[in-house]
Amino acid sequence: MHGLTPLRISVALATVAAVMGTGVAFAGSSSDTARPTQASAPAAADTTALTQRFIVGYKSQAEEARSNAAIVKDAKAKGERAGERLSFERRLGTGAALVDLPDADRPEDTQEAMAAFRSDPDVAYVVPDHRVFPTAVDPAEYRYQWDLYESQAGMNVPSAWKQATGKGVTVAVIDTGITKHTELGSRLVPGYDFISNSWTATDGGGRDSDPSDTGDWANRGECGKDRNGNPVPARDTDNSWHGTHVAGTIAATANGYGTVGVAHEANIQPIRVLGKCGGSTSDIIDAITWASGGTVSGAPANKNPAAVINMSLGGGFTCDQAYNTAIKAAVDRGTSVVVAAGNDNADASAYSPAGCGNVIAVAASDREGNRAAYSNYGRTVDVTAPGGETAVRADDGIWSTINKGTRSLGSEGYASYQGTSMATPHIAGLAALLKQTSPSLTPAQIETAIKNNTRSLPGSCSGGCGAGLADAARTLTAVTGN
């Protein structure tokens, strides 16, 4: 029986308390991720809410359509007629005028001022200057999520949200389990704890229906020695909350609170297989079987079989028949299996499950679009996704949900991690988007769609990074034709 550990991660940025979003702009986006919104205009003037600015379109024959000075004069005159102070703010790209009503403090003030313009035969239209928000997300922590929106090395996810959000699709996260988090509570469906060893589980028992992450901290040498005789871990470690971080990248909800996941309306099914000192392939094989709708002795039937499995874990051994059999059976049931390539800057074919058949193996890229220095590579890698690299700047990692407790459960928060563990949930989320738009897609078709619609890495990749850097919008468009 092989022992597995979660792929190494770097907590390079201290967690922060969650910040409530109140119309926070998408700072730092090079692709204008504040997408066009579906705002409803008032049906008539008498329903107009208070606004201190409105937009006036003049008919082409009007002097105001050509002269800003004429607009200044017209605004002043109409303000005097309405008993309000009106001023010309600027001309918009359409030629319309933005008019300011700085002293308005009642909706009636707005109505009266707009009515003065509507009564003018030279005015084509008058509409409020509405305050609008993105229809999907406005999270306070989104500015850190370069991996979703930056044009150079991001995955072009916001444009994909015009077509899908993952709604109704279940993604199983086979990992350390889950902790309570505002971003994730509404996204959860019942999971399972498959850790059979009570010491590893750290929750006082073996397998049960509670996949809560109770922590995986360990003291130096507590997990034995590696193949070179070095103590594992090499130094004392705190809780990673690895599964919570992975789950947030997939499906953190678009609630305006913090971050947002690639498939932010997908369901997360937390399945716990990793605890103190990792986990075992036997437990993981059962988890794969159960997640995909198969039968596992002693475990209840899974009422929510997953369309996608995310496994951000691995071990330094070649894939064996036991692993291959479980994965193939899951894929035959219609479940896509997305796995991490590994973090040893080595050929992924020597690692499992990265070297197994029927998986989508994911390498990691940095913020510049290079293969991340730690990422595994090679012919078994299928695709690359943002995994971050925090050696130079903590902001260059992948920002997602965690718990802030070091050796016990604490409050919820966020942190920047790096790893192919972080790249993998990007692809699992993309698979969920595809499954929502086209439920009949098979795992093979999903893999082909993702690989056929990548773009070249803007940086360098030695050793092989699969088909290239995944592009969510391009992939969705290719499948849907929209």
Which residues have a Cβ under 8 Å from the Cβ of 439 and sit 6 or more positions away?
none
Length of the chain: 482
In contact, 411 and 182? CB cutoff 8 Å? no
Q: Is 130 a catalytic residue?
A: no
Helix (H) / strand (E) element for 287: namely: helix 281-291
Q: CA distances (Å), 149 to each of 176, 260, 386, 416, in order?
A: 28, 12, 11, 16
| Catalytic residue (one of 312, 349, 416, 421) | 421
Tokens of 250: 């997939």
34: left (phi over 0), alpha (psi -120 to 50) or beta: beta
Q: Tokens 């605890």 label which residue? A: 275
Q: Are strands 398-403 and 3-6 parallel, antiparallel or unpaired?
A: unpaired
Q: Is 440 a catalytic residue?
A: no
Rg of the chain over Cα atoms, rounded to whole angstroms, equals 27
Q: Is 242 a catalytic residue?
A: yes
Largest CA distance in the chain: 89
| Catalytic residue (one of 175, 216, 347, 366) | 175
Closest CA to 379 of 394, 395, 393, 363: 363
| Catalytic residue (one of 147, 181, 212, 242) | 242
Show the 3-state SS of 226-258.
Answer: CCCCCECCCCCECCCCHHHHHHHHHHCCCCCCC
Which are the catalytic amino acids? 175, 242, 421
